[in-house]
Amino acid sequence: MAGLRLGPLLRYIDDSSATLWVETSRPGTVEVRCADGTAGRAGTFQIAGHHYALVPVTGLTPGTSTPYEVFVDRTRVWPVAEEPFASLPPSVIATPGPDDRLRVAFGSCRWAAPPTGETDPVGPDALDALARRIAASPAGERPDVLLLLGDQVYADETSDATRAWLAARRDLNDPPGSQVADYEEYTHLYDESWLDPQVRWLMSTVPTCMVFDDHDVADDWNTSASWVADMRALPWWRERILSGLMSYWVYQHLGNLSPAEVAADPLYAAVRETPDGTDALRAFAAAADADPTSARWSYRRDFGRVRLVMVDSRAARVLEEGRRSMLDPGEASWLREQVLDGHGSYDHLLIGTSLPWLLPHLVHDVEAWSSVVCRGDKGDRWARFGERLRRAADLEHWPAFPESFDELAELIAETGTGPGAPATVCVLSGDVHHAYVAEPSWPGRAGPDARVVQLTCSPVHNSIPRSLRLGFRFGWSAGARAFGRVFARHGGLGRPAVHWRRTGGPWFGNQLMTLTTQGRSAVLRLECARPGPAGARLRTVSETRLSQ
């Protein structure tokens, strides 16, 4: 008898349709049955001995919240009758209605929480806290969509429990040691992260959009051409990168797509046409690793009059020194098309990128300086030093690609200007293990009509060493800004296309931001997870109105 191994995850949703993702214990037919009589059905597909289904549900009524059940071969597998699931409210599919209010919660960087009852070394999990709040008041406030902006799993920093599991499978003295090595080990990471009861229920009832960052594959993934060359020389790397891309497509990317995009996806058709889709998916991953332009991980979602453009800032890079770019030309063109398509038809533009566009000024200047020395402008010795520093200090954000930084600034200015300008343009990011709000200005010219903000929120559940907190606090200071100008002068750097100032934060802890829009108004709230007698809870740290 087939059962449910992982999920259900509620992924895409619009006013009349939804998709739900599941992993089952064996091949079968998965059916989603809603309380209003609507239903969806899909057969499983197989990858590396695992069985998955992406079930489309159509014919939903706009503006309703409909409980649902999941069946595999006509046996009900969700909701689970045993505790702790039996005490949780029913999972629902909530479709948007005529009310144009939208709540978007977002964050990044989540280590798997330890089993219930064990001490959590990094403090309470913000997703656990969000789940507890929604479960305690099912009819109360909840996000309409949850954006997970990178590092959903940590392939290179595994937990004690995972290391013990790996040690029972292979000798950890052999590379890559306690890091994951293949597809099977990636599936264990997702099990560890998404089988957490609170998080599992949360993801069954709140739609999610996801994008990867480096730790989903490896720390510093695609930092530079020399980094890639060094990794490709390692005997274990090819299996790691192929497994990382394969598992990302299955567990994260496929659910980002609309039902129409899924139906038109040739890879999805290929893995479903054969009893085992492993070879087709592996060939796709190999092509994507060899030529980033062969795959597009970025995507667009429209939520009424709010547009989300999720940008791949990891795999779409051009890494050749002298041509470095955060986005290859095709990806940059795609971003421009998605942002400007129907300009004037949306009130708020959300650009999701795992890596922040606007950083503390010292970090920005050091990253821009590193781009100059690493390409050899100061000689070979400086280039070698710059590469070592680039890897050690993670100097790989948008400022490390100065032309891309400026191009994004110009695209935002163009989008935010004129009679069709949205009320806000929000760049949503994570990665840097603290939260802040920064606002740019365009020197020597009128700025956009839209309010432009960098909204960074990280981590959801991870460690924040005291040294890191002190470093980021200093990085935002006037003294650090002056120090950064030393690097800028040494590198012969011109002024970036924008100036910016921090207008909120820095905040530290396990946290989530929620952006609530209604019409042309937008309100931002930051909440931090705190321990409580009944489990983790979210406490509001800051609330700011971005537009009226």
pLDDT at 534 over 90: no
Instruction: Please report which confidence band the pLDDT of residue 187 belongs to, taking 50, 70 and 90 as the band edges.
Output: very high
Q: How many helices (H) and strands (E) does the chain have?
A: 16, 22
**Residue entry with tokens 């992924």:** 11
Alpha carbons 491 and 406: distance in angstroms, whole number: 17
Alpha carbons 297 and 371: distance in angstroms, whole number: 25
pLDDT at 397 over 80: yes
Inter-helix orientation angle 237-248/278-290, to 10°: 110
C-alpha distances (whole Å) from 36 to each of 13, 18, 138 are 17, 14, 18
Write down all domains in the chain, each with its CATH number in brackets: 1-96 (2.60.40.380), 100-547 (3.60.21.70)
pLDDT tens digits, 30-57:
999 999 999 999 999 999 999 999 999 9
pLDDT at 18 over 90: yes
pLDDT at 294 over 90: yes
How much of the chain exceeds pLDDT 70, in percent? 100
Q: What SS3 state is found at 141?
A: coil
Q: Residue 406: CB partners within 8 Å, gap ≥ 6? A: 496, 497
Instruction: Please report which confidence band the pLDDT of residue 395 belongs to, taking 50, 70 and 90 as the band edges.
Output: very high
How much of the chain exceeds pLDDT 90, in percent? 91
pLDDT at 223 over 90: yes
Which of 6, 137, 142, 19 is closest to 512 using CA atoms? 142
- Tokens read off for 405: 């930084």
Alpha carbons 8 and 55: distance in angstroms, whole number: 10
**Average pLDDT of span 498-518:** 97
Alpha carbons 119 and 115: distance in angstroms, whole number: 9
